[in-house]
Chains A and B, each alone.
Chain A
Amino acid sequence: MNIEIRWHGRGGQGAKTAALLLADVCFKTGAYVQGFPEYGPERMGAPITAYNRISDNEIRVHSNIYEPDLVMVVDETLLASVDVTAGLKSSGAIVVNTDKSPEEIRPMLKGYGGKVYTVDARRISVEALGKYFPNSPMLAAAVAVSSVMDKDAFIKEMRSSYAHKFAKKPEVIEGNMKALTMTLETLEEQL
């Protein structure tokens, strides 16, 4: 296994957090991981990029990722301003957070011929958590589409991660878990 993922989001939406959580959960399955952000101007709403390398072998390269296997777009409005499919492998995939279908999104991807998936992270997050935090649904989508790990193992590990991360506000744990399972179920239809 040797998977490279590029995340596109806007400052404050949690794309970096999602990348770090993905590194975290993959580490627990014994993989070598890398999760890192690329900062432009640090301000809310500015486009940001984050990256993951997940591998069975030690990771030595410390550069950005130019030919990803998977692109995660946390904010649909970035499709108009950022070349999100740049270098994306044709054998790879892109996941966009939107209420549109993959068929509606594809024409906005500059002729990208690989797999396109969509997740309505807003609907899922609001339904599961009562608030809009796209990173849990997007994290689940990244795991489902990339197959970096088994879904049951992912759910199990995330429960313990959230228990640790939200030790001081345990009331949000169930909502986040629900957001993960809802995303996995929604994507089943597309996969």
Chain B
Amino acid sequence: MSKKDRMSGNEAVAYAIRQVNPDVMPAFPITPSTEIPQMVSTYIANGEMDTEFIPVESEHSSMSATVGAEAAGARSMTATSSCGLAFMWEELLVAASNRLPLVLALVNRTLSGPININCDHSDSMGARDTGWIQIYAENNQEAYDNFIQAFPIAEDTRVHLPVMVCQDGFITSHAVENILLEEDADVRDFVGEYHPEEFLLNPGKPVAIGPYAISAYSMEAKYNQEQAMIRSKEVIMEVAARFREKFGRGFDLFEQYRTEDAEFIMLIMGSAAGCAKEAADRLRDKGIKAGVLKLRVFRPFPAEEIAKALENCKAVAIMDRCESYNGHGGPLSSEVRAALFENRVMTEAVSYIYGLAGRDFTVDTAVSIFEEIAEVAGGQKKAVQNRYVGLRTRKEQ
């Protein structure tokens, strides 16, 4: 039975790690994810779990050790944030291309510079094309639920890809909120025992992992990797359905909040979705049909499903908590607009940049964005793409 509790997002993920009790966890601390390995170490010291914790000297090493342990046949994971993820770069690609189903608890924090410890999605978005599945959480409950689902998704034989479970640094990682926790036995039953088909420490069936591939084989390996990413979509939905059946919560690829008849939709990821929902409710009270599409799964990118969900609205605000420095908008905006065009959904799509480096995103801001896209749809206003919301003027500074 579910137990009502209250804890921060970091505590919730550490609690889930204790329940899953993975075989190996190498880690190096970095704000705001430091508490996760810290709490796991305490659980281990108290004898509440028996994961082999490896303190390493850098994130390059933590991901290398996680890759090595997973290749050896052990269920492995690590945690990091920001520059820690950047320092793992080479190994992120090694993990995915070697089809290693490891899990990374990412606590989103901006990348330098200016150096700053607060939340945006530039770390995980920078890693969006490294071959990892990416799942985002709105609150501590979703961070907990997504983490539990990560292992069955990654380890499914149709997938065999690493999974990054993301939550917003400080905003959820350090906020104590209500949460429903599941019994240890139920979580372990849901995640199941790990029985890799092929692994290094298996003398009866020797394999090589990560050897050089000549050009005659490399392209096929990359094709197969992409096919696994495509297949992962149905596995993510199956695991979500199984989770919902067992624990009664959760979403598939995205959550649709009051979108059935919505004329104006905000497409957003992570903790800011709550403000967007509150804003939609306020506008509904005034007779404006607003709704929210909260993207849970960014990789694989649900292009067709998003286009279908937006086909009847008059305008969509696409909210990026990340700048791409490409002169053409954030990553979410680029992908959503391509998906709309590909599926011939010709709704007004207005892209915004918000919440960089911890800039607060409020209900009032969300309301003003809904009002703006309504004016764009009504022809009273010309769309300004990639506007920074909440940007202070020189006078305010």
Give Cα A36 to B172, complex, Å: 9
Given contacts A61-B278, A62-B275, contact A37 B360 (CB under 8 A): no
Which residue on chain B has the smallest CB distance to residue A24?
B6
Chain A residues lying within 8 Å of B278, measured Cβ to Cβ, are 60-61
Contact B274 A62 (CB under 8 A): yes
Q: Any chain A CB within 8 A of the CB of B174?
A: yes
Contact B176 A66 (CB under 8 A): no
Q: How many chain-B residues does the 8 Å CB contact rule pick out?
A: 24
Contact A63 B361 (CB under 8 A): yes
Q: Any chain B CB within 8 A of the CB of A35?
A: yes
Contact with A along B256-281 (1 / 0, CB 8 A): 00000000000000011011011000
Contact with A along B1-24 (1 / 0, CB 8 A): 000001000000000000000000
Give Cα A20 to B175, complex, Å: 9
Which residue on chain B has the smallest CB distance to residue A36?
B175
Q: Any chain A CB within 8 A of the CB of B183?
A: no
Chain A residues lying within 8 Å of B138, measured Cβ to Cβ, are 62
Given contacts A33-B177, A34-B176, A64-B360, contact A39 B274 (CB under 8 A): no
Give Cα A39 to B169, complex, Å: 11
Give Cα A39 to B175, complex, Å: 12
Q: Any chain B CB within 8 A of the CB of A112?
A: no
Given contacts A60-B278, A62-B274, A66-B362, contact A33 B170 (CB under 8 A): no
Contact A37 B174 (CB under 8 A): yes
Chain A residues lying within 8 Å of B118, measured Cβ to Cβ, are 39
Given contacts A33-B6, A39-B170, contact A63 B176 (CB under 8 A): no
Contact B274 A36 (CB under 8 A): no
Contact B6 A63 (CB under 8 A): no
Q: Any chain A CB within 8 A of the CB of B139?
A: yes
Give Cα A88 to B176, complex, Å: 23
Chain B residues lying within 8 Å of A64, measured Cβ to Cβ, are 360, 362
Q: Any chain A CB within 8 A of the CB of B83?
A: no
* Among B6, B174, B178, contact of A36 (Cβ-Cβ < 8 Å): B174
Contact A20 B176 (CB under 8 A): yes
Chain B residues lying within 8 Å of A62, measured Cβ to Cβ, are 138-139, 168, 171-172, 175, 271-272, 274-275
Q: List 25 A-B contacts (CB under 8 A).
A: A23-B177, A24-B6, A32-B178, A33-B6, A33-B177, A33-B178, A34-B175, A34-B176, A35-B175, A36-B171, A37-B174, A39-B117, A59-B177, A59-B274, A60-B139, A60-B274, A60-B277, A61-B274, A61-B275, A62-B172, A62-B272, A62-B274, A63-B360, A63-B362, A66-B362
Contact A24 B176 (CB under 8 A): yes
A:59-74 near B, CB below 8 Å: 59-64, 66
Q: Any chain A CB within 8 A of the CB of B235?
A: no
Chain B residues lying within 8 Å of A61, measured Cβ to Cβ, are 274-275, 278, 363
Contact B363 A63 (CB under 8 A): yes
| A142 CB, nearest partner CB in chain B, Å | 15
Q: Which of A23, A60, A64 has the most CB of B within 10 A?
A: A60
Told that A59-B274, A60-B278 touch, could you supply 19 new A-B pairs with CB distance under 8 A? A24-B6, A33-B176, A34-B176, A35-B175, A35-B176, A36-B170, A36-B175, A36-B176, A37-B170, A39-B117, A39-B170, A59-B177, A60-B139, A60-B274, A60-B277, A61-B278, A62-B172, A62-B275, A63-B360
Q: Any chain B CB within 8 A of the CB of A166?
A: no
Give Cα A27 to B178, complex, Å: 7
| A38 CB, nearest partner CB in chain B, Å | 8
Which residue on chain A has the smallest CB distance to residue B281?
A60
Contact with A along B156-200 (1 / 0, CB 8 A): 000000000000101110111110000000000000000000000
The 9 closest A-B pairs by CB, nearest first: A60-B274, A36-B175, A62-B271, A27-B6, A35-B176, A63-B362, A23-B176, A64-B360, A62-B171
Chain B residues lying within 8 Å of A59, measured Cβ to Cβ, are 177-178, 274
| A85 CB, nearest partner CB in chain B, Å | 19
| A46 CB, nearest partner CB in chain B, Å | 13
| B99 CB, nearest partner CB in chain A, Å | 35
Which residue on chain A has the smallest CB distance to residue B173?
A36
Chain B residues lying within 8 Å of A20, measured Cβ to Cβ, are 176
Chain A residues lying within 8 Å of B360, measured Cβ to Cβ, are 63-64
Give Cα A39 to B278, complex, Å: 25
Give Cα A19 to B183, complex, Å: 28
A:15-37 near B, CB below 8 Å: 20, 23-24, 27, 32-37
Chain B residues lying within 8 Å of A33, measured Cβ to Cβ, are 6, 176-178
Which residue on chain A has the smallest CB distance to residue B179?
A27
Give Cα A180 to B274, complex, Å: 35
Contact with A along B186-224 (1 / 0, CB 8 A): 000000000000000000000000000000000000000
